[in-house]
């Protein structure tokens, strides 16, 4: 069997490991991949955005399944092109990818289907957006509608901060075309949680819950990033809660897409805010999150290749349910100097050998220069620890970080604090994640 993974980050590294486990005899290609994937996959020197070359490669090598990792090629219609060429591919088509590529589209769909989310309005005109803010309660959130590498949502404590965010996005071009349209929404109070689904166009089958950390610094301080760490499973994760999310959030979205003639197939990421009123959607992603993939997939013991092949061939997921995972995983991201405002590349990296049952290092921003492994991006490595408890997984991840070296490296030391140090949470928020069942209805 020939498999192709498109992408080069920690998410794709984790997908490669998962597919190698599920298909030990398969030939796995990664385009373009990264140095950490060598030995698991054969690296192909084709950028993730070169759709024409990727189609040609897949035809020439008779690829049996392509898995698309990042959102940008999905939004550009890579799945549509593969399907036109008769190539099995796992991921949503361009119409489905609008759930992530256009927050305005996703918000409109949620409003029409009664999916719980923040009250919001969408603006193409900066003056209209500024006028709206003047009469809006504080705090509030300003979001670039398009793809902004996970950094396009700005929580604003005051109207003045919101006006600054609007001007930077809509007038100053801070996020390019992605920020030409903005969504302004109420600030939801609660605890964030991620739930991932595998979707076949009609039904959504849940994977593990996880929780990621966007702020660059300990204590959730500093700028937003693409993600500085994550852990899984994250509470609440009981069957009653997961079924509630599936029934009230994932299924209505799939039904709406199907009725519009655009059945959604692939991974569906629901970023949630746990509130006193119940779970509400922060955002949807049309792919697995990164770094959440680095903890969710290693704990997913069921074979994922089978459902991916079913979806790629337009077959049903009926009867497929992943086995309940045991243990816990926590990943700490090691970033380069200057991240998230910039990145420092070319710094030599030293990674000692670790017991793979206890620690796995996922590459995200690395490269080979001569015979040396060097930094090549903002988020460089994801250092995942595994254990029977979250405490054990966290200890192994953090200890491993201390033994990895590159100049300018920085990371958070408090990933997982929601459950490792619950006293830091306000009592009301602590109650939302204390039980394995539903938050307060």
Is residue 169 within a helix (H) or strand (E), and if so which, with residue range? none
Please give the backbone phi and psi of residue 282, each rounded to the nearest 5 degrees, phi first: -85, -45
Q: Please state, as a whole number, how many other Cβ atoms lie within 10 Å of the Cβ of residue 158.
A: 12
Helix (H/G/I), strand (E/B), else coil: 55: helix
Q: What pLDDT is recorded for position 436?
A: 43
pLDDT tens digits, one per residue of 3-41? 999 999 999 999 999 999 999 999 999 999 999 999 999
- Tell the CATH topology of 119-186: Dna Ligase; domain 1 (3.30.1490)
Q: Please state, as a whole number, how many other Cβ atoms lie within 10 Å of the Cβ of residue 132.
A: 16
Question: What's the predicted TM-score (pTM) here?
Answer: 0.93
Whether the upstream peptide bond of residue 318 has omega within 30° of 0, thus cis, is: no
Q: In whole angstroms, give the CA distance from residue 105 to residue 113.
A: 12
Q: pLDDT by residue for the chain (441 residues), tens digit each?
A: 999 999 999 999 999 999 999 999 999 999 999 999 999 999 999 999 999 999 999 999 999 999 999 999 999 999 999 999 999 999 999 999 999 999 999 999 999 999 999 998 999 999 999 999 988 888 999 999 988 877 788 889 999 999 999 999 999 998 998 899 999 999 999 999 999 999 999 999 999 999 999 999 999 999 889 899 999 999 998 999 999 999 999 999 999 999 999 999 999 999 999 999 899 999 999 999 999 999 999 999 899 999 999 999 999 999 999 987 889 999 999 999 999 998 989 999 999 999 999 999 999 999 999 999 999 999 999 999 999 999 999 999 999 999 999 999 999 999 999 999 999 999 889 888 875 444 443
Q: Where in the chain is the domain with CATH 3.40.50.20?
A: 2-94
Q: Where in the chain is the domain with CATH 3.30.1490.20?
A: 119-186
Query: In 264-304, which residue ranges form alpha helices assigned H by DSSP?
Result: 293-299
Q: Where in the chain is the domain with CATH 3.30.470.20?
A: 191-423
Class for domain 2-94, per CATH?
Answer: alpha beta
At 238, list the tokens.
Answer: 């009981």
Q: Please state, as a whole number, how many other Cβ atoms lie within 10 Å of the Cβ of residue 39.
A: 9
**CATH code for the structural domain at 191-423:** 3.30.470.20
């Amino acid at each position: 069997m020939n498999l192709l993974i498109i992408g080069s980050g920690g998410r794709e590294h984790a997908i490669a490991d998962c597919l190698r486990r599920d298909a030990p005899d398969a030939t796995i290609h990664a385009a373009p991949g990264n140095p950490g994937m060598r030995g698991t996959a054969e690296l192909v020197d084709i950028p993730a955005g070169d759709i024409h070359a990727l189609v040609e490669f897949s035809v020439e090598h008779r690829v049996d399944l392509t898995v698309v990792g990042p959102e940008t090629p999905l939004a550009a219609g890579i799945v549509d092109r593969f399907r036109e060429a008769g190539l099995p591919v796992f991921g949503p088509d361009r119409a489905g990818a609008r759930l992530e590529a256009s927050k305005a589209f996703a918000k409109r769909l949620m409003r029409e289907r009664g999916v719980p989310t923040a009250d919001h309005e969408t603006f193409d005109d900066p003056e209209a957006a500024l006028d709206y803010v003047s009469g809006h309660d504080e705090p509030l959130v300003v979001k670039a509608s398009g793809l902004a590498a996970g950094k396009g949502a700005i929580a604003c404590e005051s109207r003045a901060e919101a006006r600054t965010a609007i001007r930077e996005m809509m007038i100053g071009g801070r996020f390019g075309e992605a920020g030409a349209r903005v969504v302004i929404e109420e600030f939801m109070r609660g605890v964030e949680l991620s739930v991932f689904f595998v979707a076949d166009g009609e039904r959504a089958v849940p994977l593990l819950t996880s929780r990621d950390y966007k702020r660059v610094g300990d204590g959730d301080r500093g700028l937003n990033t693409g993600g500085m760490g994550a852990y899984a499973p994250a509470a609440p994760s009981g069957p009653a809660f997961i079924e509630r999310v599936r029934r009230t959030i994932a299924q209505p979205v799939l039904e709406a897409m199907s009725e519009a003639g655009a059945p959604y197939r692939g991974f569906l990421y629901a970023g949630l805010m746990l509130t006193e009123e119940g779970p509400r959607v922060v955002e949807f992603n049309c792919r697995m999150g990164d770094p959440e993939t680095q903890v969710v997939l290693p704990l997913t013991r069921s074979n994922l290749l089978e459902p991916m092949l079913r979806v790629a061939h337009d077959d049903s997921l009926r009867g497929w349910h992943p086995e309940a995972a045991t243990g816990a995983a926590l990943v700490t991201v090691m970033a380069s100097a200057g991240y998230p405002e910039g990145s420092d590349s070319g710094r030599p990296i030293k990674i000692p050998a670790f017991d793979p049952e206890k620690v796995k290092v996922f590459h995200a921003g690395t490269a080979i220069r001569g015979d040396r492994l060097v930094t090549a991006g903002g988020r460089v490595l994801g250092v995942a620890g595994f254990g029977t408890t979250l405490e054990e997984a966290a200890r192994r991840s953090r200890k491993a970080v201390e033994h990895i070296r590159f100049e300018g490296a920085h990371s958070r030391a408090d990933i997982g604090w929601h459950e490792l140090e619950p006293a830091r949470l306000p009592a009301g928020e602590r109650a939302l994640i204390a039980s394995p069942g539903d938050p307060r209805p």
